[in-house]
A and B are shown apart, each in its own frame.
Chain A
């Protein structure tokens, strides 16, 4: 049997008690993980601890801001002038296009009024700034400097000047986390602009591309085809650019074509993004109607008749 060791200078430290404690802690961690995976405590806890968490995010975002400021401060004049010139030209071009579009938009509006639909071409957006924080999800997430206090809600689409970036996943009081469209767990309904084929674009595991794994073999899809949001599902409004098809190949099973697409948005370069406020009107099946009881005026109690029928019905 081993000698009892001298605890003050343990050359081969560690004993049964240490192992036991390890097992207890590991078990505790596993229980926490399972419970959190089931119930999503982490975000509720983060929301509660926002007073501590958010300053840490802002603090960790400072180096990125510093680098940005430095790059502006030390960028040579020549390049800034060039950039300025290019931006002016872009603005001019965009304005010219807009002016032409205005007439079309008005016509569209009139025709839509004639058709009695309410799709609007106007955007209700909010500008947000990206905070440079690494949230440990490889590179599939992004943090914004707007949160619940600014009216941000989970599910809001996020776009930049070139296309769709993703959707708001979690909201803290003054920051929010965006799930990018390249996240393997993300899917976005798209339509191919040239042919009108509807399909779904998933994020791909190896970084910065989109995968469209279930295109019918007979479908006409080529490299260079533009993908737009289709508006199905009601999360993203229709007509925003999503990406451009790069490669098309038959799937390993031989049942479908698989296309890989490059996202249109500058996913890792954008500093300012737009949060869309209007959720799209769902084009798909209508949302399930809350079951209603009999109308309020038919309800037996007198109190219920003062309330609007729908709410009194929902209460029951």
Chain B
């Protein structure tokens, strides 16, 4: 029972941490390199514990992210829903990919996410972002193996599901 609660706390904690990291600004030069943290954390959890990550959860996390930093309500909810849906659909295959292949898959997912965001922003009347805006998915994919191993290791140490 206690273990279960701890693991739930850990799960929620990582998601809140992801939202916070999304808000933390980087110095001007590094700004375009900031990965989309909520997507990475949600991806990890959708690969590792399928029963907890559902489309509904992705929607709620997206709404929370929109509430904290967003242009329109529902934008990140849409993006995270699409992302989690694809991840869950290919979950069993993604899990058995070697790490580099998994990172490539994450890159594809994050690029897809950026394209969705671009569509939403352009439809909402924002101007096209500068070219450096496309760096972020690559940084996210490059960080993926480390994030995955770190979270897995922490989870093993805490002995939680």
Contact = CB atoms under 8 A, between A and B. Distances in A.
B70 interface: yes
A206 B130 contact: yes
A93 interface: no
Interface string B1-39: 000000000000000000110111110100100100000
Contact of A136 (B70, B81, B82): B70
B130 A18 contact: no
Given A18-B88, A22-B81, A32 B69 contact: no
B20 A56 contact: yes
A60 B67 contact: no
A33 B62 CA distance: 12
B48 interface: no
Interface in A173-217: 184-185, 205-207
A71 to B, nearest CB: 11
B91 A32 contact: no
Contact of A139 (B31, B69, B85, B89): B31
Interface stretch (A39-47, A79-87, A114-122, A250-258): A39-47
B23 A29 contact: no
A63 interface: yes
Q: Which of A25, A46, A52, A205 lies at the interface centre, i.e. has the most chain B CB atoms within 10 A of its CB?
A: A25
A60 B77 contact: no
Contact of B66 (A42, A52, A132): A42
A15 B88 CA distance: 11
A136 B120 CA distance: 14
Contacts of A63: 24
A103 interface: no
B59 interface: yes
A21 interface: yes
Interface string B91-121: 1100000000000000000000000000010
A14 B89 contact: yes
B78 A30 contact: yes
Contact of B69 (A29, A30, A35, A133): A133
A250 B70 CA distance: 37
A59 B20 contact: yes
A29 B62 contact: yes
A46 B70 CA distance: 10
B42 to A, nearest CB: 14
B55 A33 contact: no
13 contacts: A13-B92, A26-B82, A28-B59, A33-B72, A42-B70, A53-B68, A132-B24, A134-B26, A136-B71, A138-B133, A205-B128, A206-B130, A207-B130
Given A10-B92, A56-B20, 5 more contacts: A33-B78, A36-B74, A53-B68, A56-B23, A185-B127
Interface of B: 19-20, 22-26, 28, 31, 34, 55-56, 58-59, 62, 66-75, 77-78, 81-82, 85, 88-89, 91-92, 120, 124, 126-130, 133
